[in-house]
Amino acid sequence: MTKEEFIRELAKLNIEASEQNLKALDRYKDLLIEYNQKFNLTAIKTEEEIYLKHFYDSLTLTKALDLSQNYKLLDIGTGAGFPGLVLKIFYPHLEITLLDSNHKKIMFLNTVIKELNLTNITCLNIRAENLPNNYRESFDIVTSRAVSTLSILCELSLPFLKVNNLFIAMKGDSEEEIKKSSQILEKLDSKIINVIKFNLPNEASHRSLVIIKKLKKTKEKYPRRYDKIVKSK
């Protein structure tokens, strides 16, 4: 996707990209390409792929959410910052926490945040299931893209979401994973309220936004240790 196509496709999502947004993304893209050569941060390496599969794809979250609200948002397994860091560039009022267990990725994210002078954004180098108790029930929105199966993700994310709020899993095809998630969703007192399906522009890749609402406070025993989470799925 060229930059011109990116701007056109964003307009279809009702997003107007300012000069400042585009400049910040361009710097982010340059840093991603540079650091990727040293640290292998992402398999997506060319400029056109980055604009489509990272930047545009991250912003498709707006199909599910009105991001003009003052949300406190957690992005689990953000990797090189997708979707969380792209959302911060376009919606600077959001209070964003980027979480990843990979130290190199967190170092990269801190470099980008400093270069772009972003504020009210925090990076946590920790596994989601090890997040301390003070983070429980504390986020308005939790997101996660391309991290794990839906069942595993539900257990990693829902404990940290406030009651009556939304976890949005950004996935490819999701039907099989949705079928397998019914048991754990019941245990976590949450339910899928919508699935938004679409294709990425320029190619036939399927995408779905699985929108899950948390109905009650999560029982203390969740999330369990990672080996237990995986074993029970």
Question: Contact residues for ligand SAM (CB under 6 A)?
Answer: 42, 77-79, 82, 99-102, 105, 127-129, 145-148, 156
Long-range (24+ apart) CB contacts under 8 A made by 32-38 are 32/80, 32/108, 35/108, 35/111, 36/80
Q: Name the minimum Å distance from CB 77 to ligand SAM.
A: 3
Confirm if 226 and 178 have CB atoms less than 8 A apart.
Answer: no
> Which DSSP string do the residues of 7-59 spell out, in sequence order?
HHHHHHTT-PPPHHHHHHHHHHHHHHHHHHHHH---S--SHHHIIIIIIIHHH
Choice between 1 and 128, CB closer to ligand SAM: 128
Phi-psi region of 199 (alpha: psi -120 to 50; beta: other; left: phi over 0): beta
Q: Name the minimum Å distance from CB 199 to ligand SAM.
A: 17
Residue 206: strand pairing partners: 199
Q: Name the minimum Å distance from CB 156 to ligand SAM.
A: 6
Residue number closest to ligand SAM, CB atom: 79
Choice between 19 and 139, CB closer to ligand SAM: 139
Q: Name the minimum Å distance from CB 140 to ligand SAM.
A: 19
Choice between 88 and 105, CB closer to ligand SAM: 105
Choice between 101 and 202, CB closer to ligand SAM: 101
